[in-house]
A and B are shown apart, each in its own frame.
Chain A
Amino acid sequence: MRNLAVLGVLVVVLAPLALVLPPAQQAVAVRVLIFALMAIGWNVMSGFGGMFSFGHAAYFGIGAYTSVWLLVKHNVSPWLGMLAGAALAAAFGTLTGFLALRYRLRGAYFALATFAVAEMLRLLATGSDLVNRAVGYNVPLLRGNSWSMLQFPAGSPNYFWVGLGLVAAAVAISLLYLRSRAGRFTLAARDDEVAAASVGVPVLRYQLFTIALSAAITAVAGVFYVQYYLYVNPDLAFGASVSIQAILPAVIGGVGTVWGPVVGAVILGPLSDVTATLLRQPPEFLGFLAGRGGLDVMLYAILLIVIVLALPQGVYGAAAERLRRWRS
């Protein structure tokens, strides 16, 4: 399939970047990859599935905490932690999704419910001795490269390659999913749930499957995050900003498309760094802003408004549509 071929080419072309980029840019690149992974996960449920989630931090955090807890307490490899985290997040998503859908929560109510669930996890983690309360966990530092424990020295290109591999896998999964029976049924249910049921599509079953897949991908992002930044606490894992970070790239790039979340991540990832650099040396009359935070998020917000109003299909989505029309 053409898209898979494009994916393959991209991976081959981008891989050498890790060797060429200076450390600061490397960090940005890894951040882009983490954003992309989170957004791809969010997009599966909210874009393909049409179920707007405002609490994806729940899955991210479950992935992060499961893996880091297994690592710190039982020295389990984060690769296994990924599997465990993904499985746990999928199960959790299926359960909460079932409750929400069964009680007929839709639209804004559904979104608010997902938010409440993520917040509850954050509060539970903050108050629970089982997971170290607000202190969180530090990943024990290892010396040198360890592929088995997914830890490398700071600035190592291996992180980029792992991230690239994970994002490529997620994109491939999205592509295969869209073509699959499950994916087609999910899209139909998204377009019109009642009509889909009336021709025999078991809507609830496929909605739950979509949620589970979405949760699993986002959980993997959480594990990778912990292994890269070597630290996690309830706010970093379950905070509202995490949920927002999963949404923004997908919306900017194009909800419901395969490449949209990736494009969005590429746009947003470097933005933080650009604003931080600007603020480090601000112009004279804005001198009091030096070293302050918040400008990057303000730019995200403005970009978000512009996209939603002017380009609701997202940057990639609009470009793809324009191309399609030009072809026919």
Chain B
Amino acid sequence: MAILSVLGVSKAFRGLRALDAVSFEVGRGEILGVIGPNGAGKTTLFSVLAGALPPDAGRVVLDGRNITGGPAHRVARAGLVRTFQLMRPFASMSVLDNVCIAAMTRVRSRREAHARAVDVVKRVGLEKWQDARADTLPTAWLKRLELARALATRPRVLLLDEVLAGLAPAEREPVLDLLAGLRERDGLTMVFVEHVMAAVMRLSDRVLVLDQGAVLMSGPPGQVTADPRVIEVYLGEEPC
């Protein structure tokens, strides 16, 4: 059975159709890349999946459990956690404390939560910044903090919203290695939105194409990116 099922999700904002009967499934341990031109509805989709935005129609089912409509914290507790395109650190706290907060939502013992946080911080390569205030971090490391926070909750499904945005090409590889490692080591299921095609090609098992709120097609990365319809939809978009 798929770990995440999205069934006919629609959302409109004052007449503008942001999502139009979007349906897809994600298998356990699968990495699904979501691509589409700007305004295609990708971030809206994530907001709906994470329970931050209630859909007008449709259902979101996580491992057999209906999580449609949130609230956001309950969806996160159920195991579906998202990261944000524009990073949202807890600015007044240290990096470690940021991750601790996330761990504490799962683990009652402070010592255990702390230990888990230290471990996660090490895994994403943030040990050197462990005690620095979160708002002093440069972009690349803030991205990792987002990731670390999400991982500290031991999610079942991770939604990554443009995790590579704002990173220089040299900074991207380590992040991609990290993500690949997550799937290898933990069997983590991931859905990620990305504009950087190379990353999509490298990481995804399958690719879903969104255009104007509707699913255009889905399939293996090579097949999708070669499809003429997809190419046309991206015509005029900047290559990365």
Contacts and interface: CB of A to CB of B under 8 A. Distances in A.
Interface residues of B, number: 30
A196 to B, nearest CB: 7
Contacts of A188: 90, 93, 98, 101
A201 B73 CA distance: 6
Interface in A23-64: none
Contacts of A201: 73, 101, 105
B38 interface: no
B81 interface: yes
B81 A197 contact: no
Given A185-B101, A185-B104, A188-B101, A197 B76 contact: yes
B91 A191 contact: yes
What interface size band does chain A fall in?
10 to 19
Given A188-B93, A200-B105, A195 B81 contact: no
A197 B88 contact: no
Given A181-B104, A200-B76, A200-B105, A195 B92 contact: no
Interface string B22-35: 00000000000000
Contacts of B74: 202
Contacts of A199: 76, 81, 101-102, 105, 149-150, 152-153
A180 to B, nearest CB: 9
B72 A197 contact: yes
A200 B92 CA distance: 19
A187 B134 CA distance: 13
A192 B89 contact: yes
A184 B102 CA distance: 11
B52 A184 contact: no
Contacts of A195: 84, 88-90, 149
B17 interface: no
A185 B106 CA distance: 13
**Most chain-B CB neighbours within 10 Å: which of A185, A194, A199, A203?**
A199
A198 interface: yes
A200 B90 contact: no
Contacts of B4: none
18 contacts: A184-B100, A184-B101, A184-B104, A185-B104, A188-B93, A188-B98, A191-B90, A191-B91, A192-B90, A194-B84, A196-B90, A197-B52, A197-B72, A198-B50, A198-B81, A199-B81, A200-B105, A200-B153
